[in-house]
Structure 1
């Protein structure tokens, strides 16, 4: 059995894989499940941290505290060197990431019954688009955090390549595969030659024809659905007495997972009160202020995310926003959702087209498209990618587990 593990630290969910003969690679991390939401909650009432589903449960139960999600999105951004107030004290974001990575390691070791000091971490093709220095800084920061959490040997693998390794373990002939990984924070792609024979090679660089990615993912879909369908009811797009639009910054902060806490600062609260005196539709803006005073931004984002998930399978969804004053039921349609994210999907589609062009591969040469990542189920996205490679067979992997399983395979090759 391998002594190294694969760590898929995701924007929305995380897994840890450990390769063992005849057994499923992913380790149970919470309540018997192999996935754990990438969430940290500081419970001020009990003065302790909780993680994953337990963190979300405590937050939704109304405990005083601070919820933090999409921490991965901080990597490579200026916010990574910032801090947030937790329990009346300033806690650096780096330390929060360290707490979560350390918790992943602890739970994986508990499930495996052994210590893990070596790990292959998954990473997006680009943490940051069009900025090589920031991208390198993001990987270096994650490496530093992993070392501080107790790992001693760390390697990195592109997440779509890891997913390709997992898919390769299921096929019986050679394929040219387009791997499509739509995660919480990024969309990543790889074009890889796969086969049972190639899987035995230690060096796979010649099999990777191209990789590409764009900083668009499921949390962006949440954001633009929220801005289109929910935030107008809180005053977004309204006018001030002087005829100019209400400032949009509070709405964007509340619609973006990793900036929600910025709406709760004292300075932000004072700015909202200043704007309230100048708005025409005070009833709507008062609902925004009430939401912020409740610190219910994460609750609202969770409702929008749940609606998005429903719309992946159903033509309509309902959001019961019972914490608003007054409570409101919002009806969502798949068409409305697709319209809100259409520019994002076009960007993703263009990235795939460029990938094929960079590799010098024609669309009809692709044998299969392998989908993974929790946000790859969005129907508009699948339709647009199918239009790019219409003759390719579509295969759905474990949307939340293929990367972690592939990283576990890679860990054996690198550290055995």
Structure 2
């Protein structure tokens, strides 16, 4: 007779995209189809503001993933939430935010609702309840602050337990990616995993090989892990500040006053407009009123007019999305035009590959330096790294991967599934952790 159904899952809750793995036949795991034909799903939630009256305590209707983004693009009234992972470890996690229709929710409850959606999809695919889970986590949720980093993991664990996952284990995301890489390893080697997603750039040096693959305790094989809280959303932010928000007055000067040199326009509003989870703070009535009274700060009145239109029409998230699209468009060295017709008729901003490269150069160098430091912490030299394994959505940026590969010229560069390698590796770890324990 067949044995009992194994009922665990592995969740890759990413800043930009998420995936989940469940047990499969013959002691393996498989990714769940979260949307039609797709095993990964944007980490996005849309709260609909227009709906039937709710019962006391009921939550507003929501859409998840691509459906959430489609609802936002199609112009439904409501609130799109993305990059929720970035609030873990911050004071925002217990704060409430307006989602439209007179409703407000805690940021942590947004994460909880998204995890509940993932768990439901996994249980539907498995045909059984799931109470055990491996969750991926970055090497650092918060750079340089161990207390806040621990708080971030505790918050994510609390959200997981709130949806019914009682036995929760965490694994570093780049180590999970190393387990995925190990499936193709034919000999023992040291691999440097570069897991560069939307919110963090994480690195691990892991000893892998066919003789180590089935071990349940891999502590001795993990030689070093390191990371920085810089990744794809930071690139988007730099591109928006450089290529879009300068047309709205970022970095511009005010009018000359007597013999005083012109002063730079206050920049706080622009930094908030370029940071996903802070954009809605710009729309607060008091802040809007303050911005309306700042016309005299601008030498070019068009800048102030464009800024006010952006704020009054709540265009901040759309501008950041266009910055992300521009980053992708120039990723392979091409030039692009950013259409800002929604801000001002016929307004377009050219963005060249060299401009984009210059905008993100400092961030890229910090990421590359983190990779070098990981190898140093492992007690190795660059020449000792046998393979460089790329995973995470931001490894599609050729400039970044070329700089990393140049730092480890002896390593064989291998590309995993940019969006699913971590989930696959977490599934392998979950199988070893939960199936073997039975």
Q: Does 1:48 align with 2:61?
A: yes
Aligned partner of 1:38 in structure 2 is: 43
Matched-pair contact (CA < 8 Å) for 2:29–2:427: no
Q: Does 1:184 align with 2:194?
A: no
Q: How many residues align?
A: 416
Greater Cα shift, 61-70 or 312-321:
312-321
State the superposition RMSD in angstroms: 1.5
Aligned partner of 2:376 in structure 1 is: 357
Aligned partner of 2:56 in structure 1 is: none
CA distance in 1, matches of 2:333, 2:30: 32
Matched-pair contact (CA < 8 Å) for 2:12–2:426: yes
Equivalent residue for 2:7, pick from 3, 11, 30? 3
Equivalent residue for 1:29, pick from 30, 34, 38? 34
Structure 1 position 339, deviation (Å): 0.4
Structure 1 position 24, deviation (Å): 6.7
Q: Does 1:415 align with 2:434?
A: yes
Equivalent residue for 1:399, pick from 412, 418, 431? 418
TM-score w.r.t. length of structure 2: 0.92
CA distance in 1, matches of 2:29, 2:341: 41
Q: Does 1:310 align with 2:329?
A: yes
Aligned partner of 1:328 in structure 2 is: 347
Unaligned 5+ runs, structure 1: none
CA distance in 2, matches of 1:34, 1:408: 13
Write out aligned runs for 1:235-384 (5 A): 235-241=249-255, 243-384=262-403
Structure 1 position 329, deviation (Å): 2.2
Structure 1 position 267, deviation (Å): 2.1
Greater Cα shift, 152-161 or 86-95:
86-95
Aligned partner of 2:18 in structure 1 is: 14
Q: Do the aligned partners of residues 167 and 260 (structure 1) sit closer, same or farther apart at CA in structure 2, a change above 3 Å counting?
A: same
Aligned partner of 2:81 in structure 1 is: 68
Structure 1 position 314, deviation (Å): 4.0
Deviation string for 1:113-161 (max 9, x for gaps)?
2222111000000000011001000000100011112211100000000
Matched-pair contact (CA < 8 Å) for 1:307–1:332: yes
Matched-pair contact (CA < 8 Å) for 2:331–2:399: no
CA distance in 2, matches of 1:131, 1:58: 37
CA distance in 2, matches of 1:313, 1:335: 11
CA distance in 1, matches of 2:240, 2:333: 18
Q: Does 1:168 align with 2:185?
A: no
TM-score w.r.t. length of structure 1: 0.97
Deviation string for 1:194-253 (max 9, x for gaps)?
011101111000011110000001000000011011100011112234532211111111
Aligned partner of 1:58 in structure 2 is: 71
CA distance in 1, matches of 2:418, 2:389: 10
Deviation string for 1:159-195 (max 9, x for gaps)?
0000000111122221210000001000000001101
CA distance in 1, matches of 2:346, 2:118: 38
**Larger Rg over CA atoms:** 2
Matched-pair contact (CA < 8 Å) for 1:29–1:111: no
CA distance in 2, matches of 1:29, 1:16: 8
CA distance in 2, matches of 1:293, 1:386: 45
Aligned partner of 1:206 in structure 2 is: 220
